[in-house]
Amino acid sequence: MGLKYGAGMTLEDCLEKLSQQFEEADLFYGHGTDNSWDEAVYLVFCALGLSFEEDDTIMSRPVTQKEVSLVESLARRRIEEYVPVAYLVGEAWFAGLPFKVDSRVLIPRSPIAELILEQFAGLLPAQPHRILDLCTGSGCIGIACALAFPDTFVDLADISLGALTLASENAARHDSQDRICVIHSDLFNGVQGTYDLIVTNPPYVSKEEVDALPQEYRHEPELGLVSEEEGLKIPLQILREAPNYLTSDGILVMEVGHSWEALAARLPQVPFLWLEFANGGEGVCMLTARQLREVHAQLV
Ligand SMILES: C[S@@+](CC[C@H](N)C(=O)[O-])C[C@H]1O[C@@H](n2cnc3c(N)ncnc32)[C@H](O)[C@@H]1O
């Protein structure tokens, strides 16, 4: 018989109980954490408005009956409805920054965060003047870029008006709205001019693969995940159109995740540079504008 929720329990008791419940449930981790304890900490700290910066003495803090009830109700939705914690608490972290999230956007998790924190070292020839975050969702990639490059103008483009509303709120939250423009666009059709960097995490999963994913993914917008032609339709269109929107020294950084092998096999003539990540993740390529222009005729 494990711990029971109740008045008089400490924060540590509450976390142990919740982590034990998560352990016994058939949950998938992959939207911010990879184990039951971290998942419990994520839920409880955010739900109770506690800072992750607190020292260990916070663990002996008593949890009130009202707080216990809140944790129990969120835990029920996590376990019975498989709602990811990010949606339950409305918050996710990307490149060390908090972003508001809800079911209008994918939960940020792209390995591109690592590139942003390193300011695309070794990839960009100079500080970029303009960056486009295509398929921006919550705006996490573009907003993190705006903060990494304080003199750069960033456009956030997405086909989903709901996602763009949230992206605008996130830009304001990070006080970067004066350098950020939100654009409603079906891929490139709403954007203008050229960019030194186009960075994109587009949909790249086939419908069949999405249907086979763990239940947690059903809470994410299908528009953010699914691409036709076995996941490759949207990435292929980006490769075809990107050269028209890149400066002569510009680069494209695009994530295609596990679809990278299929894309590389389909386009053996394209000199993709597949990037490596210290913190995990795969399937992010870099191509220069020059390389894209050289192979353009073969992509049409
Ligand atoms: C994989 S999510 C990425 C979100 C965000 N960049 C991130 O890394 O968390 C893909 C995004 O592409 C958007 N999208 C899908 N089709 C699109 C299209 N044709 N044009 C522009 N955006 C599109 C979706 O609305 C979704 O927000």
Which tens digits make up the pLDDT trace of 285-299? 999 999 999 999 888
Whether 274 is covered by a domain: the verdict is yes
Global confidence as pTM: 0.96
Q: Of all helices (H) and strands (E), which one includes residue 133?
A: strand 130-134
Residue to substitute in 99, 131, 159, 237 for testing ligand 1 pocket (most ligand atoms within 8 angstroms of CB) = 159
What would the pLDDT profile of 43-58 be if each residue is shown by its tens digit?
999 999 999 999 999 9
Pair 136, 168: CB distance under 8 Å = no
- Residue with CA at minimum distance from ligand 1 atom 19: 186
Whether 1 is covered by a domain: the verdict is no
Q: What pLDDT does 1 receive? A: 37
Average pLDDT (65-88) is 97
For residue 233, how many C-alpha atoms fall within 13 Å in the half-sphere facing its CB?
10
Pair 279, 259: CB distance under 8 Å = no
* CATH code where residue 209 lies: 3.40.50.150
pLDDT(7) > 70: no
Residue to substitute in 104, 106, 166, 187 for testing ligand 1 pocket (most ligand atoms within 8 angstroms of CB) = 106
- Nearest-CA neighbor of 281 among 130, 116, 122, 156? 116
The verdict on 51 and 110 lying in the same domain is no
Percent of the chain with pLDDT over 90: 95
* 135 Cβ below 6 A of ligand 1: yes
pLDDT(157) > 90: yes
Q: What pLDDT does 8 receive? A: 80
pLDDT band, residue 222 (cuts 50/70/90): very high
Whether 71 is covered by a domain: the verdict is yes
Average pLDDT (202-225) is 97
The verdict on 67 and 154 lying in the same domain is no
Average pLDDT (233-260) is 98
The verdict on 24 and 152 lying in the same domain is no
Q: Both tokens of residue 220?
A: 């994410």
- Nearest-CA neighbor of 232 among 202, 211, 190? 202
Whether 98 is covered by a domain: the verdict is no
For the chain, the domain total comes to 2
Pair 76, 62: CB distance under 8 Å = no
The verdict on 127 and 19 lying in the same domain is no
Residue 89: phi and psi, rounded to 5, are: -105, -10
* 224 Cβ below 6 A of ligand 1: yes
The verdict on 27 and 152 lying in the same domain is no
Atom in ligand 1 nearest the alpha carbon of residue 204: 1
Atom in ligand 1 nearest the alpha carbon of residue 136: 6
Q: What pLDDT does 164 receive? A: 98
Give the sign of the dihedral formed by CA 214, CA 220, CA 225, CA 230.
positive
What would the pLDDT profile of 100-109 be if each residue is shown by its tens digit?
999 999 999 9
* 220 Cβ below 6 A of ligand 1: no
Which of the two residues, 299 and 145, has the higher pLDDT score? Answer: 145
Range of the domain at 56: 11-89
What would the pLDDT profile of 270-290 be if each residue is shown by its tens digit?
999 999 999 999 999 999 999
Q: Cα–Cα distance between 15 and 21 in angstroms, integer?
A: 10
Contacts with 62 (C-beta within 8 Å, 6 or more apart), sequence order? 8, 9, 10, 11
The verdict on 66 and 140 lying in the same domain is no
Q: End of a domain among 57, 89, 121?
A: 89
Tokens 């030194």 belong to residue: 196
Pair 136, 158: CB distance under 8 Å = yes
Q: What pLDDT does 3 receive? A: 58
Contacts with 258 (C-beta within 8 Å, 6 or more apart), sequence order? 282, 283
Average pLDDT (163-189) is 97
- Nearest-CA neighbor of 9 among 66, 83, 56, 55? 66
Average pLDDT (227-253) is 97
As beta bridge partners, residue 288 has 251
